[in-house]
Amino acid sequence: MRFSLYSKKNQLDEMQEQTLRKIEGRGFWLMWGGLLAAWIVQTMFGAADKAAGEWVVFMIGCIYMVVACLRNGLWDRHLLDTAPANAVCSLVAVVAVTLISGFSYGYWVGAVIAGVFTGILCFALLQLCAALTRRQRKHLDNPKDEE
């Protein structure tokens, strides 16, 4: 008798598969938000050097999501890949970085400068990713016929 704990065959029907994917997605975003919150709290209380592990895991998750979405030509379910939408998201980053830096270090001029540079960098990267996503989507939607 052969005993195996793992089967290459999918044991789930389509509804169960869809439910599992939703659970996995929510779990990822819960982990992402938790790591971000832990890093922000530790940074604000002056223990940023002790939060290096959380930051590494957080960044690995972020990089994986960006690369996977770019490869598949996916942007977002609700947000558009337009310049105004990217500007609003960048403005959120400006406010977040300014407040976190200002409360952490108490030097508000430097916090504003860091926030503005973060906003500019964020907008540029969002625009680059939007262009790459559109290009990949066009490539995936219209594959060239092989002759």
The DSSP secondary-structure symbol of 66 reads H
Read off the pLDDT of residues 85-116 as tens digits, 9 standing for 90 and up.
999 999 999 999 999 889 888 889 999 999 99
- Element housing 47 (H / E): none
Would you kindly state where each structural domain of the chain is located, as residue ranges? 14-71, 75-141
Of the ranges 14-18, 101-105, 122-126, the best mean pLDDT one: 122-126
> What pLDDT score was predicted for residue 1?
57
d(CA 115, CA 35): 21
Q: Determine contact, residues 75/130, Cβ cutoff 8 Å.
A: yes
Distance, CA of 83 to CA of 145 (rounded, Å): 33
Give me 83's structure tokens. Answer: 């310049």
* Count of residues in the chain: 147
For residue 50, pLDDT over 90 is answered with no
Type of residue at 124? A
pLDDT computed for residue 9 by the predictor: 77
Give Cα 84 to chain centroid, integer Å.
Answer: 19
One DSSP character per residue, 88-127 reads HHHHHHHHHHHHHHHHHHS-HHHHHHHHHHHHHHHHHHHH
Tens-digit pLDDT profile for residues 135-147: 998 998 887 755 4
Q: Residue 147: what pLDDT? A: 47
